[in-house]
Amino acid sequence: MINELVMKYRFFSTLMCCCLSITVAIAQEQFALKSPDGRIETTVFIGEKLTYAVSHDTQPVILPSPISLSLTGGEVWGSKARLSGHKVRKVRQVISSPFYRRSEIKDEYNELTLYFRGQWGVEFRIYNDGVAYRFVNQRKKPFTIQTEETSFIFPEDVTAIAAPPNNGFTTTPSVAVSKSDVGVIEQQFTSSFENTYVTGRLSELDKKRLFMLPLVVNIPGGKRVCITEADLESYPGLYLNTGRDVNSLSGFLPPYPKETVQGGHNMLQLRVKQREEYIAKIDGERFFPWRTIIIANTDKELADSDMTYKLAAPSRVTDISWIRPGKVAWEWWNDLNLEGVDFETGVNNKTYKYYIDFASQNGIEYVILDEGWSINLKADLMQVVPEINLPELVKYAATRGVGIILWAGYYAFNRDMENVCRHYADMGVKGFKIDFMDRDDQEMVDFIYRAADTAARYKLILDLHGMYKPAGLNRTYPNVLNFEGVFGLEQMKWQSPTVDMVTYDVTIPFIRQLAGPMDYTQGAMKNAAKGTFYPNNSEPMSQGTRCHQLAAYVIFDSPFNMLCDSPTNYIREPESLEFIAGVPTVWDETITLDGKIGEYIVTARRHKNTWYIGGFTNWDARDFMVDLSFLGNTKYDVTLFKDGVNAHRKGTDYKKERFSLEERKKNLTIHAAPGGGFVMQLDLQ
């Protein structure tokens, strides 16, 4: 497939270059290319090293920064490179984007491709909101890449907002780092990609820590720069580190596994015991992942970026009519707790039939059977626990319009993927939630693509947990509806009260969400005001108010969205349930109305003729000034959920109001309690 895409790209690129011209300045092996609006410029320098620089409104954003690929055997792409040709093109098109934050995306960029002796090249794309580059391989014979040099040199000691992998260190050496770094990197390559953010100047950050993508840096003058990657296929994921040069971030990539052993959570993982002295095996012609620099003047501009999706490979699923996004009644977070029933709850058919009935009665599309339905420690998805009659359960759900999703550990799914998908698709199961990958080396990335492709062939959807950032996979395989790779609400079952989830919630829409959708698993009905939270595994709660939880269904991108709490708790809260059950999970239009990283955000989304607007704040009480002028003179009936007068003391306190928009000014003032929020539904009159 990659080879086919390369050939198609060559033909189209050649055609475009014959038809149009883009200004490219050439002086002593120096190329410059501007964005369609002329505000962003990248300059590529070819000399002893291959370097690039980026400016925005003439202000330097990235100073000349070296990039290269080092092959085993000593060849380096980017060292004393000899140019053999270049091509430019201009693209103006519209991308269809089903199951996303908007139904279509305007895709406009200018592109420069540099070809070098040795059958390789580098491609740059310049959008109005950023720059991306990637290496291109034109060789047909296999080879291996020892390491990749990726660097971002800033004009000064900038402040970064970044999340390190959620683990510690080992003394296992890694070939991807310098000798002085041996012993501090390896374990960070095994991670569930869930952690909160740290903020500090590059000089202040721990030089022995890697940082996950995406991350954001503050550029002088108020600009925000988000660094991430896109179209990550058959290649290891990128991490950044501050330890190599002053005022810079440098890339690290996990080497290829040499030896793996079964282990980890319930023997459902393959843990790396030893790694190779290279990061990737290359079989032939291909594109490498995009290194992406998103630039914004304001935080709300940053939150609106679609660059990751635009840079991803187009869909490889020709028929998507069977893919059904929606909401999921989920039993794991609420520990299968039900009240008022005449059976003992647990992993059994009676319990799951109750969840199915609840889903059916409230228009919820799916029920998930999380960990426990298959026999523990066997890593065999064909062995179902005797308490579950799965064919009966699937048929029962189907008669009520509800689909069944099965949880699967990575190793169990991988070892028998084809048979598992065929068997359960034939039974009527609608998809899998795959968990505990906890790596993003090339071997694991290859598994993800193989799983997505296999599931698509059997018309199965996927929700990927224990998973690295999306990087655009949801465009290439739209049957992959959601991803974890986020410090989601499940953490509140066991985290210390010192963990600040509320501030995290007003941070991720500007950083993590730029990589793609998030299975945050919101929907808690027990809501803790500031100072009242405590972890509880069996009866968990959220930090912040009820309206904060409701707003998350609008603010977070999540095409496959959980109702994390118990049906019992939802039934007690019919107003909240009605809203959650009715809110869409995919959108025709999305606008970030206002926001500031770590402080607050207000998001508006349209599904058909109905608008939803959600906002939440950090632990500071806030009066939101919601500008609705974008609605024009159209009349709407509004349903508003806002924090109650006592929500600062009791997080469950809220007030529901109904009114006609024409009765109020287009600028609404809505008060939010500490950790609070609001959400409104606007129905066309």
* Residue listed under structure tokens 């959708």: 517
User: Which listed residue (306, 490, 594, 643) is catalytic?
Assistant: 490
Give the C-alpha separation, 118 to 77, whole Å. 8
Mark whether 588 is an active-site residue: no
Give the C-alpha separation, 438 to 418, whole Å. 22
The answer to whether the CB of 564 falls within 8 A of the CB of 521 is yes
Kindly report the backbone phi and psi dihedral angles of residue 51, in degrees, each rounded to the nearest multiple of 5, phi listed first: -130, 160
Give the C-alpha separation, 235 to 258, whole Å. 15
Taking CA 259 as the corner, what is the angle to CA 257 and CA 264, rounded to the nearest 5 degrees? 90
Residue 496 burial (CB < 10 Å; 0-12/13-18/19+)?
Answer: exposed
User: Which listed residue (186, 276, 299, 435) is catalytic?
Assistant: 435
**Cβ atoms < 10 Å from Cβ of 385:** 13
DSSP string, 552-574: HHHHS--SEEEE-S-HHHHHH-H
Mark whether 435 is an active-site residue: yes
As a whole number of angstroms, the longest Cα–Cα distance in the chain is: 81
| Tokens encoding 144 | 């291996």
Smallest Cα–Cα separation from 308: which of 514, 511, 125, 126?
514
How would you classify residue 57: left for phi > 0, otherwise alpha for psi between -120 and 50, otherwise beta? Answer: left
Contacts of 88 (CB under 8 A, 6+ apart): 17, 21, 22, 24, 33, 110, 111, 112, 113
The answer to whether the CB of 387 falls within 8 A of the CB of 349 is yes
Whether the bond between 559 and the residue before it is cis, its omega within 30 degrees of 0, is no
Give the C-alpha separation, 380 to 397, whole Å. 24
Helix (H) or strand (E) holding 12, with range, is: helix 2-19
Task: State how far the alpha carbon of 468 is from the alpha carbons of 131, 197, 236, 287, 408, in Å.
Answer: 22, 16, 11, 20, 17
Q: Which residues are catalytic?
A: 435, 490
